[in-house]
Structure 1
Amino acid sequence: MNHTIRRFFRSALLLAIGLSSAACTPYATFPSDGGAKLLGPGVYPAPQLMGKGLKVTYEKTVGDLPLVPAAVEGDAATPPALVYDLPAGVSAGNWTQIGNQTEISSAREVTRADVANGTPIWAVKQIRIRSNRAEVDVIYPGSGGLYQLATAIFRSEPFGAFKLQSFQRWLIPEDAPVCNHPAEIADAKAEEKAAADAEAAENAAAE
């Protein structure tokens, strides 16, 4: 009997310590919010969570948008593709990995042309992880070009994958996403430099 009681109190103590540790564990975030620990965007489970956050947000919000007419007459119209943007600082390889994690066949990386053309874009704004809880903020497109914020909340069992616990639309207006893809940014800088060099050469020739 005493052994059973001791085992009960030992289990209760371990549980209390675990809960206390979880409550005191600070969030790790990406991008940084200035106060929390910075989470590496290419380190597990960050890419997986960004992919899952995009997937659930796309699936729950794409129905708000009009269907895209088929390119071939007679074919059925389809939902808009999952064109996704990520925070600055994510490598090109991780962009591809995160797109694969969405498991959405239409998923593709955003381009500058998408931004210029007003293509609907789903953008990860921030991820936050503390112990077995994770939150992914995603900016999603609505009708009339309006963008708003949603949060997907995930939990994991010990040594298990994060699974969706809840999804919340905040109806908070957000700025339209920009293109943070590193290859697109590099191209834009190269074009700006070429234009500046051409202008400088033209000015020099005119002198």
Structure 2
Amino acid sequence: MRAQYFEFIRQQLLVATADLSGATKCQLVAFAENGQFCTDRYKRKQLKVWDEESQKMIAVWNEQVPGKQSRAKGSHIPLVQPIEFATASWRRAVLAQEPQKSAWLLWCYSDDTRYTHQVEIVRWAWAEFEAGLKGKRIAAKTVERLRSLIWLAAQDTRLELRKGADDCLEHQRLARLAGVSKSTWSEIYADRWEAMRAIYKRLDRDALACVAKTRSMQKEANYQ
């Protein structure tokens, strides 16, 4: 697939998985701004009359008075917004993917920061990265530092995909975060850092390609 088509899928997922829950007012705000019944004729407070025997004002307990709705809206609010209905096929395709692909798409493009998604992404990525370390002599302390960088690499890759490479972390800052000198970072960690990012980029491309293919197959099956 071309880069332009990948970007098209990304934009579709951003729209399809956007949180539109705040597009309309909540029930309490609607009640506060619009009175439910006309109260100009029958007041809400209790009606009181003068009692000759007790020489006091007493409340009159009457049956409820039916009222009419005031300031009724001209049209109803649909339960499903048109944009939500139009992009439902993308959401179905995302949820039909493998766990790591679905978790990546939801975390990367819908800002779904659930801990289960993060665990699934990191567990899969570390397994892929660790497989590339087999047969190589590497210090245990270096492995621990690399393990601590695997989630940071996911965040950095997501930032590049969403905003561009200019916002990515620089090697000097990465060296400080890892607790090593810049020369040590360049010698030992720089290539492995790029390998981590490459794993996430491959996951992104595979997930986007699969979600587009799944959506096409689902739409074809639904229209038969």
TM-score norm. by structure 1 comes to 0.26
TM-score norm. by structure 2 comes to 0.25
Higher relative contact order (CA 8 A, sep 6+): 2
Q: Which has the higher strand share?
A: 1
